[in-house]
Amino acid sequence: MARKALARAAAAPVDPEELRQRLRTAGLRSTAPRVAVLNHLEQIVQPASHAEIVDALAPLGFDRATVYRGLADLVEAKLVTRTDLGDHVWRFELRRHAGTDDVHPHFVCTRCGDIRCLPAAAVQLRAVGDLEELSSLQGLEVHVRGVCARCQGAAVDLDPSALPSLATATG
């Protein structure tokens, strides 16, 4: 899938001892699978599905269930967020700002499925009307859908005869 190729490094490799300390500070035991999952999420810049994380960690010998339990523990400890971008697939990403909800919108390309994190300020919401019924709001997720620049460029490269005619009927 195209998404795997786009999961590029977000930062320099993190010291494993720092990852172990982060786990302990969150109240978790520092296990090899948790450290590996945390390290992988530290290296990517977009949310990843359980299957994508399993594939990335396969060379380390961790099975699907172990990776899933590690992800569930990291979500519960608030080190990782879990989101569904409308396709019923949970995706996971590192909370990069400790002590915050680290809420930000995501852009999803409707052609290739690429997912990008957008800056929190990219989308602004404002309350309109009486919102008392939302007094128990538990979270907010914003997903922006459209066609990414790469796919827009690919559309330009298509054979012109494959494109619909832009001529309008007269008369």
Least confident among 1-5, 34-38, 123-127, 140-144: 1-5
Residue 147: predicted pLDDT: 84
Report the alpha-carbon distance of residue 53 to residue 51 in Å, rounded. Answer: 5
Give me the number of domains the chain comprises. Answer: 1
Give the residue with greater pLDDT, 100 vs 163: 100
The reply to whether 131 falls in a domain is no
Distances (CA, A) of 68 to 7, 65, 84: 19, 5, 16
Classify residue 82: in a domain, yes or no. yes
Q: Specify if 20 maps to a domain.
A: yes
Domain that holds residue 113: 2-125+140-156
Query: Domain for residue 30, yes or no?
Result: yes
Looking up residue 25, the CATH number of its domain turns out to be: 1.10.10.10
Q: What is the pLDDT of residue 166?
A: 39
% of the chain exceeding 70 in pLDDT: 66
Does 144 reside within a domain?
yes
Please count the CA atoms within 13 angstroms of the CA of 144 that sit on its side-chain side.
15
Dihedrals phi, psi of 103, to nearest 5 degrees: -80, 130
Residue 167 lies in a domain: no
What is residue 39's predicted lDDT score, i.e. its pLDDT?
A: 94
Instruction: Give a yes or no: residue 148 inside a domain.
Output: yes
Among residues of the chain, what percentage have pLDDT more than 90?
A: 33
Model-level pTM greater than 0.85?
A: no
Is residue 7 assigned to a domain?
Answer: yes
Q: What is the pLDDT of residue 7?
A: 45
Q: Across all residues in the chain, what is the average pLDDT? A: 76
pLDDT of residue 171 exceeding 50, the answer is no
How do residues 101-157 score in pLDDT, each as one tens digit? Answer: 566 677 778 788 777 777 767 777 676 666 666 655 556 677 777 888 888 876 544
Q: Radius of gyration of the chain from Cα atoms?
A: 20
